[in-house]
């Protein structure tokens, strides 16, 4: 069965790093798998949306609908996105068979220390800092990613949670 692994969390939480490793493992196990990253998806869709709440909601629904489309065509999807709206995650649960939500949770202290994109040093519209997010209330799995586990160990935990089945 095709799954959609929806990795959500704040910017810099490690969603794409974990997602990329998961996708590599899925492919190595013979799955047809696609990795979708929120930043790349914005460009793929033409970069026509800004960062207002309405634009972010529209972007999130584009991502969700693309995941559903790919899954219906027999492709396992690993989607790494901030996904800040409960309504989008609820839509996913209702409309995507095999939906599996992973919240990659990181402390603000760790995010500020990592700050790979320079987002947490100020001056931008940063989700979770400059405006509130609707954090996942009932994800299928929470991965605490403050550095206690390597990305490989995080993927091991994810795969063991789903019974070792990619």
Give the dihedral of Cα atoms 35, 105, 129, 113; nearest 10 deg: -90
Residue range 51-87, pLDDT digits in tens: 888 888 999 999 999 999 999 999 999 999 988 899 9
When pLDDT is cut at 50, 70 and 90, the band that residue 166 belongs to is: very low
Buried b (16+ CB within 10 A) or exposed e, 77-115: bbbbbbbbbeebbebbeeebeebbbbbbbbeeebbeebe
Mean pLDDT of the chain: 87
Q: What percent of the chain has pLDDT over 70?
A: 86
Sheet of strand 99-105, all strands in order from the earlier edge strand to the far edge: 33-37, 76-80, 4-8, 99-105, 141-144
39 pLDDT tier (thresholds 50, 70, 90): confident
Q: Is 83 a catalytic residue?
A: yes
Which sign does the torsion angle of CA 136, 138, 140, 144 carry?
positive
Tell me the sheet residues that pair with 36.
79
pTM > 0.85: yes or no: yes
Higher-confidence residue of 147 and 132: namely 147
List, for residues 104-144, the tens digit of each pLDDT value: 999 888 887 865 655 555 656 555 555 567 889 999 999 99
Which entry of 59, 83, 87, 107 is annotated as an active-site residue?
A: 83
Give the model's pLDDT for residue 158.
95
Q: Which residue has the higher pLDDT, 47 or 27?
A: 27
- For 133-163, letters b (16+ CB in 10 Å) and e give beebeebbbebebeeebebeebbeebbeeee
Between 122 and 103, residue with greater pLDDT:
103
In DSSP terms, 101 is beta-bridged to 6
| Cα-based distances in Å from 33 to 11, 17, 20, 82, 137 | 23, 16, 10, 20, 27
């Amino acid at each position: 069965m095709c799954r959609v692994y929806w990795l959500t969390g704040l910017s810099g939480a490690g969603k794409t790093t974990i997602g990329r490793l998961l996708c590599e493992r899925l492919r190595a196990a013979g799955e047809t798998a696609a990795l979708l990253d929120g930043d790349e998806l914005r460009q793929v869709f033409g970069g026509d949306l800004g960062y207002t709440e309405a634009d972010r909601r529209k972007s999130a629904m584009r991502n969700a609908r693309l995941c559903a489309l790919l899954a219906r065509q027999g492709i396992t999807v690993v989607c790494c996105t901030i996904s800040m709206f409960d309504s989008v995650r609820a839509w996913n649960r209702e409309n995507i068979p095999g939906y599996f939500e992973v919240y990659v949770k990181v402390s603000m202290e760790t995010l500020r220390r990592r700050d790979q994109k320079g987002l947490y040093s100020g001056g931008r519209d940063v989700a979770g800092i400059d405006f509130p997010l609707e954090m996942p209330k009932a994800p299928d799995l929470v991965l605490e990613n403050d550095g206690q586990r390597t990305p490989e160990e995080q993927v091991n935990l994810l795969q063991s949670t789903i019974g070792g089945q990619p």
